[in-house]
Structure 1
Amino acid sequence: MALKWEQVINAQPGIELNVMVAEHLLKWHRIPVPTHDYDGPVGHGEVLIPPTMSEADAYAMMPPRGNIFLSYFIQQNWSRDISAAWFYVEGKIRELGLQTRYYQKIKEVVGRTGELVYPFDYIHATPEQRCKAALLSVLDL
């Protein structure tokens, strides 16, 4: 699913924004969840798994009962934890060589979602703003 600029800017920190980061920045992929458990049919959908995890490993780690949500394997809270945002989000931006675009997008996001400190210094950006700027950078929005 292609994201739009408005979806990224309006995303709420927490599960919604973390799912976007996992899928679009960190390149996690979706797999279908089991449609039955020990008790019979369950609500089904998809779950995001990291690129280093196989489908077989993911299925082996899923619980035998109940619904499994899209964010089941997401353990980091990139949009609320500054250390996770620095390590994972900004690390991926460096890996992709998008630092210049990223710093421009941080300024844009901070201007839209918070108080712009003058003179602007990206170090003051929140984890939420960093995640949104990274998504806008990688999606070229």
Structure 2
Amino acid sequence: MSTALVTFVGMAHPWMCDTMGHMNVRHYAGMFDDASFQLLGHIAAKDGNEGGIGWADVRYEVDYRHETKAGALLTIRSHVVKVGRSSITFEQVMSGSLDGVVHAVGRTTSVRFDLTARASVPLDDAMRERALALLVEQPAQPL
């Protein structure tokens, strides 16, 4: 079993907060998306969509656990929960950088995708190995 990879460190700026004083859901999505590029980049060992191959998210679910107020320091840790033929399912845990309180948990399934053919492509052996190194069989905090 592996440990999670730190894929994002940032803060909730006041301009990210809604009229209730909490970080708006669109900013959770942005932070989780930035974190997913880090995770998938570590798995693919490439930046961007070199060679016309990229990733397509096909499922995205977020569980909001604790309000996030302006000034909160945040860390996202990501780990793989399933490796398919052409897909990776991963979980991202957003927590307070100082107190460890879990603010949100996201789970995404992303498919390796040929951008020209518009079809899935299998993970190569090296990608599969890197993904399996980040596999956590029993997620610590299921959705």
TM-score range relative to shorter protein: under 0.3
Greater fraction strand: 2
TM-score normalised to the size of structure 1? 0.28
Structure 1 or 2, whichever has the larger Rg, is 1
Greater fraction helix: 1
